[in-house]
Structure 1
Amino acid sequence: MRVRGTLVAGVRGLGLSLVAHGGSLALFVLTVLSMALMVLGVGILTTPVVVSWARSFAQLRRVWGYEVAGLRIPAAYRPFPARLRRGPLGQAQRCAVLLRDPATWRELLWLPVDLSAGFLLVLLPPSLVGYGVGFVLLPLLHWLTGLGGELLGLGALTTGRPGLIYALVPVGAGLLVLARYANPALLRAHFQLAAVFLTPPRAELAARVARLTETRHDAVDASAAELRRIERDLHDGAQARLVAVGMSLGAIEALIEKDPARAKELAGRARRSSAEALTELRDLVRGIHPPVLAERGLGDAVRALALRTALPVEVTAELPGRLPAPVESAAYFAVSEILTNAAKHSGAERVRVDIRYADALLRIAVTDDGRGGAVLHSGAADDAGGGAPGSGLRGVERRLGTFDGVLAVSSPVGGPTLVTMEIPCA
């Protein structure tokens, strides 16, 4: 098992050395060049793309760090604003956010370190194994080919020196013994070096932990409230109707011979009660997880939701396929709550829902042409347009916060109202 682990570490080290050398070199050069071109304006358009590549490269190293060495390297990227312009202006806005993020500069500083010291640390494991095996087999290789040390890059060092050829055998054995114990440690040191540069300061981590703790508490409270709602709806709705159906059936059984007309009337009432109970159960199931969402995905589920909304709703969805089920569910009910608010309070005539996926983010924008005045502030939400406090935006914000999502509201008095949501999908 130890021999296998040594060889696996050597192979992994070889792969990581190629990645560290080629990837870090290319990304560092591209990033520096792109930032230099910002003087000419071209870099404003290219820097967000290059920095996103660098982030993906760093994220890949974090994943490998956990899979190979069991080392967790946290990330704390600042979220983009909920409202990003489109076109060149949006790219410039994205560029400004990235350049103000300390994580961007940590990764830029890490790239040359990964290219030098990180490359050396992962190059040693395959070198120890390769030269160890080569030195041990050097006499055999020399006897078969007559080339001796030339095959191992020693040049003419062993030419005419058969004693040196055999002297390198114990050296090779020593390298293999060293590789047996050192290779896993060298790989772990490589990822620890990455962690030194990629790990955010404690203050950033503390802020992120505080937010995650708050959103998890909100998720638990929301889950408990949802269970109480389901219990209440079942008790007051379908359960009461089913009890009535049972009582009607008992009365029918007693009257079916004595008073067939009365029994027929009760049978019709029981049938109507059972149909109403079935409708209520379907509505309850739709409120927990709509079947169309499970079967057709978020885009079609929102379109079906739009057909049931009192206002005309136009839906545009550009999605690469199915998203994670929790994300789809959170997005669906968030849109449902916002459409309900618009129908009740906004006085709008039309609503537009735009759903897009890009850069591992689900972005949803809901726009209505109503009177405006919706406000989201300091943990409270008010819909000034309808004069009704507690418009549900705070609940939407809590729902999105469970996924580190963000909610932004732009609603000047007189309208229009734009509600933008972003949910990370990675």
Structure 2
Amino acid sequence: MGGVNEELTAWVGRGLAASVRSFVIGLVFFVCGIALLVLSIVSISFIPLFGLGILLTPLVVVGVRALAGERRKLAGQWSGVEIPTPYRSRPPMEPFGLVGAWQRCRWMLGDPATWRDLLWLLSSPLTLALGILPAGLVGYGVEGILVMPAVLQFVDGYHYGPGWLIDIPFEGFVAIPQGVLILALGLAVAPALLRLHDVLTKQLLGPTRQAMLDQRVRVLTRTRAETVDAQAAELRRIERDLHDGAQARLVSLGMSLGLAEDLVTRDPVAAQKLLAEARDASDRALSELRDLVRGIHPPVLAERGLDGAVRALALTLPIPVEVDIELGGRPQAPVESAGYFAVAEALANVVKHSHATRAWVLVRHDGRSLGMTVSDNGVGGADPAGGTGLRGMERRLAAFDGTVAVSSPPGGPTVVTVELPCELSSPKTLPSSGTG
């Protein structure tokens, strides 16, 4: 019985919340929408008439976009209908003056999304109707249940709905079951109407298919350029490390061996000392080459996959790192490498900046994307805009449509979450989890 009551209470709560939200959307966005629509028409008409529209139109369009942005946000929060922002990127333009105002005006009015926003404002009466309908049904039902019997005690007659004059108590109490039915209908349809409203809104405020394709092309162009720049920088780093490190040691090794060859018959003791130095130089050169190879693609990553590589990395850190990895297979090699270096960069930041005494790594695959979370108990305050590590991570992962989210309030904890769309192959028999 308790479970039924809980389900009924939850159902009523969802219906009431949806009806209130619909009413707020209908009333607020109708009033604001009509006002902005009038201002938009006036400001645009002033462009050829007085020229004032060049200054006014961008300001009004900013207001329209702010209202549309709030509507998109509410659609996602209240109905789960995600509406991406469709506007074109701002081109370079003058910051001040009439030239800058004209450039802003031309950019905004040249964006098809601006005109779709205005069309959405034009549909404000529909917004009002869809918003008031569920709230009206709920209010009408509540009136029949609660208000009507009380009103009949004080007045001779009461108009309940269109054309129904109730002037005797019996008719008032007959309205109670009708009110129950209408209230139930309002609570039942309110969530569906709210979602329908949000879906219809998405058709106007969301990007068109062509806009999505154009945006995708721009993103791919940007990420390709960033990837090329990152690869060029990586090649320069490898060249510098080889030139300053292993190459210099190998040159020194060759010179030492040449001198030892000359001294081997005349001064065997000195020759032996040079050979010992040469052996040390060769060991250091080999170690530097191994470090360089690990920086390009760690052998343990190729041999043991992301699971083994992250665990091996955790063992090398000066603080305890708890590693929990559960994967049904292996991502493709480029994605696996990108994921490994993202975890490595996040852990490096933990050691360098967080003053943490403990860190955690969680890796999961949900069937569509690889999710990796690195957290610590440090002091917090990490800012992607304040350093090159997290920004570099974002640029590298953008080439794979990956995302990086950082939560690091002052005082901690810091949580870095990485999402990489990918599929897995070579499923394993058993998942693994534990401590590194």
What's the TM-score, normalizing by structure 2?
A: 0.51
- Distance in 2 (CA, whole Å) between partners of 1:329 and 1:18 is 47
Please name the residue that 2:431 is paired with.
Answer: none
- Distance in 2 (CA, whole Å) between partners of 1:149 and 1:190 is 37
- 1:148 and 1:158 in contact (8 A); partners too: no
Distance of aligned partners of 1:237 and 1:206 in 2 relative to their CA distance in 1, 3 Å threshold = same
Distance of aligned partners of 1:235 and 1:182 in 2 relative to their CA distance in 1, 3 Å threshold = farther
What is the Cα deviation at residue 237 of structure 1?
A: 6.1
* Mapping 1:248-263, distance limit 5 Å: none
Q: Deviations over 1:68-98 (max 9, x none)?
A: 1211223332233313252122112211222
Distance of aligned partners of 1:174 and 1:21 in 2 relative to their CA distance in 1, 3 Å threshold = same
- Distance in 2 (CA, whole Å) between partners of 1:178 and 1:66 is 25
1:33 pairs with one of 9, 32, 42: 42
* Mapping 1:194-343, distance limit 5 Å: 194-220=201-227, 222-223=229-230, 325-326=384-385
Please name the residue that 2:96 is paired with.
Answer: 86
SS in 2 for 1:137: helix
- Distance in 2 (CA, whole Å) between partners of 1:35 and 1:98 is 11
What is the Cα deviation at residue 222 of structure 1?
A: 4.7
What is the Cα deviation at residue 149 of structure 1?
A: 7.6
- 1:16 and 1:122 in contact (8 A); partners too: yes
- Greater mean deviation of Cα atoms: 9-18 or 41-50: 9-18
Please name the residue that 1:58 is paired with.
Answer: 68
Distance of aligned partners of 1:154 and 1:87 in 2 relative to their CA distance in 1, 3 Å threshold = same
Distance of aligned partners of 1:45 and 1:235 in 2 relative to their CA distance in 1, 3 Å threshold = same
Distance of aligned partners of 1:231 and 1:99 in 2 relative to their CA distance in 1, 3 Å threshold = same
- Distance in 2 (CA, whole Å) between partners of 1:327 and 1:118 is 43
Instruction: Report the AA paired with residue 123 of structure 1.
Output: I
- 2:141 and 2:181 in contact (8 A); partners too: yes
What's the TM-score, normalizing by structure 1?
A: 0.53
Please name the residue that 2:293 is paired with.
Answer: none
How many residue pairs get aligned? The number is 278
Instruction: Report the AA paired with residue 217 of structure 2.
Output: A
Please name the residue that 2:142 is paired with.
Answer: 133
- 1:44 and 1:95 in contact (8 A); partners too: yes
* Mapping 1:48-197, distance limit 5 Å: 48-84=58-94, 86-113=96-123, 115-142=124-151, 146-147=154-155, 157-197=164-204
- Distance in 1 (CA, whole Å) between partners of 2:156 and 2:72 is 42
- 1:141 and 1:148 in contact (8 A); partners too: no
Q: Deviations over 1:87-128 (max 9, x none)?
A: 122112211222222111111111020x11111111122222
- 1:138 and 1:165 in contact (8 A); partners too: no
Distance of aligned partners of 1:189 and 1:214 in 2 relative to their CA distance in 1, 3 Å threshold = same
- 1:158 and 1:164 in contact (8 A); partners too: no
SS in 2 for 1:125: helix
- 2:141 and 2:180 in contact (8 A); partners too: yes
Distance of aligned partners of 1:158 and 1:85 in 2 relative to their CA distance in 1, 3 Å threshold = same
- 1:148 and 1:165 in contact (8 A); partners too: no
Unaligned regions of 5+ residues in structure 2, if any? Answer: 1-9, 249-344, 354-380, 404-436
- Distance in 1 (CA, whole Å) between partners of 2:382 and 2:87 is 22
What is the Cα deviation at residue 190 of structure 1?
A: 1.2
- 2:27 and 2:131 in contact (8 A); partners too: no
Instruction: Report the AA paired with residue 98 of structure 2.
Output: P
Task: Confirm whether residue 23 of structure 1 aligns to residue 28 of structure 2.
Answer: no
What is the Cα deviation at residue 225 of structure 1?
A: 5.5
Instruction: Report the AA paired with residue 99 of structure 1.
Output: L
- 2:15 and 2:186 in contact (8 A); partners too: yes
Distance of aligned partners of 1:180 and 1:232 in 2 relative to their CA distance in 1, 3 Å threshold = farther
- 2:156 and 2:167 in contact (8 A); partners too: no
Please name the residue that 1:5 is paired with.
Answer: 14
What is the Cα deviation at residue 32 of structure 1?
A: 0.8
Q: Deviations over 1:198-244 (max 9, x none)?
A: 23332222121122233334445555555666677677769999xxx
- 2:19 and 2:190 in contact (8 A); partners too: yes
- Distance in 2 (CA, whole Å) between partners of 1:14 and 1:23 is 14
Distance of aligned partners of 1:116 and 1:139 in 2 relative to their CA distance in 1, 3 Å threshold = closer
What is the Cα deviation at residue 155 of structure 1?
A: 9.5
Distance of aligned partners of 1:37 and 1:324 in 2 relative to their CA distance in 1, 3 Å threshold = farther
SS in 2 for 1:79: coil
Distance of aligned partners of 1:202 and 1:155 in 2 relative to their CA distance in 1, 3 Å threshold = closer
Task: Confirm whether residue 44 of structure 1 aligns to residue 51 of structure 2.
Answer: no
Unaligned regions of 5+ residues in structure 1, if any? Answer: 242-287, 296-321, 334-394, 404-426
Distance of aligned partners of 1:323 and 1:90 in 2 relative to their CA distance in 1, 3 Å threshold = farther
- Distance in 1 (CA, whole Å) between partners of 2:387 and 2:57 is 31
Q: Deviations over 1:167-209 (max 9, x none)?
A: 2212211122212321111111111221222233322221211
Distance of aligned partners of 1:194 and 1:237 in 2 relative to their CA distance in 1, 3 Å threshold = same
- 2:138 and 2:182 in contact (8 A); partners too: yes
Instruction: Report the AA paired with residue 165 of structure 1.
Output: G
SS in 2 for 1:72: coil
